[in-house]
Amino acid sequence: MKPYRFAAASALVLLTAACGTGATGDAAASTGDYPVTVANCGVDVTFDAEPERVVLLKSAAVPFLHDLGVLDRVTARAGQYPDAYYDAATIAELTAIPLLTDKTDTSGHLQISKEVVISQQPDLVLGEVDNLSRDTLSAVDIPLMEEPALCEQGVPDPSFDDIYEQMQTYGKVFDRPAEATAAVAKLKERMAGITTAAASGRTAAVLYPTVGGGVTYAYGKKSMAHPQLEAAGLKDVFGDTDERVFEVTMEELLGRNPDVLILLYSDGDPKAVEQAVTALPGAANLTAVKNGDLMPQLFNFTEPPSPLSIDGLEKIVQRFGS
């Protein structure tokens, strides 16, 4: 028997589940021995045993799996896994996992066919991509889990608590509750030390520029960028924008004129990421550009909520903290 099964509810029940399962919307619906059910993006996923053949389509789950000691359950991966995210032990674990493809588009979205993923015979896929939706995979009896912040409905009020809850969720799925509790305790201890050092008082914005020309995106209060800036002692100039990510014009940036710009990117040269902003017409008038207060940051150091978000907070505080 496969170690999972799905339980999809009606639209009303899904909406209720999304709103009533805690900060992440992914709290486990059952505890103890298997079966274990977790709510993910408004859909219940039930596991009858620990997943043994996991395929990663996004890198966000890596630090969770590493901290729980289950990264060896990953039998294949796809996408970008920059070494800068990980310690030596995690890099060694990832190197041992076959890479299906690392091709992405200019927005960092993975380019992979469903046939390639299905051929791996996974009992769990982590990360949803454009042509590999939950419905597509469930049609061939393969479950999918996405990071709650990247679900279509997102999370209403992202916070560092989402990281702790997601660690506990993975702990339930992989039967590692004690490891999850210990990992959460260490993360909270780290957070206490970081926030004590944060007190810059300046304004900031988090952007995702398109290298080579194109749309510039900004992150609002429904993204992890918002609590991360606040924890770093920076005032989010888009903290009044009730969206996760949205297109932003130079006129809007000039109007809000942040002192600091955090520039997210998926891979490549961080200098090119800076130039994607500084080369925009009018950018020279931004305070952050005038003062050279631009900080390229790999995407997962901010989004979605994960232990890497705490690493990213440390980096911001080191650069801009008092």
**Structure pTM?**
0.86
For the cut 80, the answer to whether the pLDDT of residue 6 exceeds it is: no
Statement to judge: residues 144 and 202 lie in one domain:
no
Domain termination residue (choose one: 159, 189, 219): 189
| pLDDT value of residue 1 | 36
For the cut 60, the answer to whether the pLDDT of residue 155 exceeds it is: yes
| pLDDT value of residue 103 | 87
For 10-64, the pLDDT digits (tens) are 333 333 333 333 334 444 443 458 899 999 999 999 999 999 999 999 999 999 9
Residue 26 to residue 204: CA distance in whole angstroms: 30
Report the CATH number that the domain containing residue 230 is assigned in CATH.
Answer: 3.40.50.1980
For the cut 60, the answer to whether the pLDDT of residue 287 exceeds it is: yes
Give the dihedral of Cα atoms 143, 136, 40, 185; nearest 10 deg.
60
Statement to judge: residues 9 and 150 lie in one domain:
yes
Residue 64 to residue 69: CA distance in whole angstroms: 9
Statement to judge: residues 23 and 163 lie in one domain:
yes
What is the span of the domain harbouring residue 20? 5-189
- Could you give the count of Cα atoms lying within 13 Å of 186 in the half-sphere of its Cβ? 12
User: Considering the chain, what percentage of its residues have pLDDT values greater than 90?
Assistant: 77
For the cut 80, the answer to whether the pLDDT of residue 308 exceeds it is: yes
| pLDDT value of residue 156 | 87
Q: What is the mean pLDDT of residues 286-303?
A: 97
Statement to judge: residues 122 and 231 lie in one domain:
no
Domain termination residue (choose one: 156, 189, 222): 189
Residue 278 to residue 275: CA distance in whole angstroms: 5
| pLDDT value of residue 177 | 96
Evaluate whether 298 touches 273 at the Cβ level (below 8 Å): no
Domain termination residue (choose one: 189, 210, 227): 189
Residue 55 to residue 117: CA distance in whole angstroms: 8
- Could you give the count of Cα atoms lying within 13 Å of 111 in the half-sphere of its Cβ? 7
Number of compact structural domains in the chain: 2
Beta bridge partners of 206: 262
Statement to judge: residues 185 and 242 lie in one domain:
no
Statement to judge: residues 214 and 256 lie in one domain:
yes
Find which of 10-14, 125-129, 183-187, 263-267 is predicted with most confidence, using mean pLDDT: 183-187
Residue 48 to residue 193: CA distance in whole angstroms: 39
Q: Which of 76, 35, 36 is nearest to 54 (CA)?
A: 76
For the cut 90, the answer to whether the pLDDT of residue 106 exceeds it is: no
Average of per-residue pLDDT values in the chain:
88
Statement to judge: residues 276 and 148 lie in one domain:
no
Statement to judge: residues 45 and 105 lie in one domain:
yes
Statement to judge: residues 274 and 242 lie in one domain:
yes
Evaluate whether 245 touches 223 at the Cβ level (below 8 Å): yes
Evaluate whether 191 touches 310 at the Cβ level (below 8 Å): yes
Report the first-to-last Cα separation within the chain, whole angstroms. Answer: 57
